[in-house]
Amino acid sequence: MDTRSVARFVEDAEHQAMAHRLYTLVFPMNKQDGKVLLGMKKRGFGRDKFNGFGGKVEAKETIAEGAARELAEESELVAKSMKQCGLLLFYFENDPVAMEVHVFLVHEYEGTEAESDEMRPQWFDIHDLPFKLMWADDSLWWPYVLKGQKFVGQFWFKANQATIARQKLGAVESLDFV
């Protein structure tokens, strides 16, 4: 397992034994206007869904560095400060690799959002997200973001990648596992 992974602190032995890939998910926030920037995924995994900005963490970067890089690549925004608010673990039926996703909020950034090859950015009211056009788990953990609570979630998806077969989700005091 990747030494940057923290999944071992929340998973049972069966899931700890799985291969894991590290990902990030970044949500730029405009607190003054009560808005969050989402991106419509234009290609690849999650195509035609709104989501935060993010992707795979590269081998020689920290998780936070990966989050900042992905945000810049996909939206042209440069994070000035990021705070991790959640950890999501996804298991897909018939896929031997778990996704370990580190969720960040960005309240300070530079630049103006712009469309990339991968994402089309759009601002939404933080209380009125397009959940029908998002991953099925998003509506379950987003309330923790609104309350300012840190959270850990585990979601087991059916092979269709739309149906949640099982879940564990809850608030945590800290995301500092080591």
Q: What is the structure's pLDDT at 101? A: 97
Question: Which candidate, 1, 4, 3, 2, places its Cα nearest to that of 62?
Answer: 4
Residues 157-169, mean pLDDT to the nearest whole number: 95
Q: Tell me the pTM.
A: 0.95
Dist. CA 158–CA 136, nearest whole Å: 11
Q: Where are the domains of the chain?
A: 3-172
Mean residue pLDDT across the chain: 94
Residue range 133-137: mean pLDDT, rounded: 97
Query: For a pLDDT cut of 90, what percent of the chain falls above it?
Result: 85
User: In the CATH hierarchy, which fold is given to the domain comprising 3-172?
Assistant: Nucleoside Triphosphate Pyrophosphohydrolase (3.90.79)
pLDDT score of 1: 63
The two three-digit tokens of residue 103, written as one number: 């969720």
pLDDT in tens, 34-73: 999 999 999 988 899 999 999 999 999 999 999 999 999 9
178 has a pLDDT exceeding 80: no
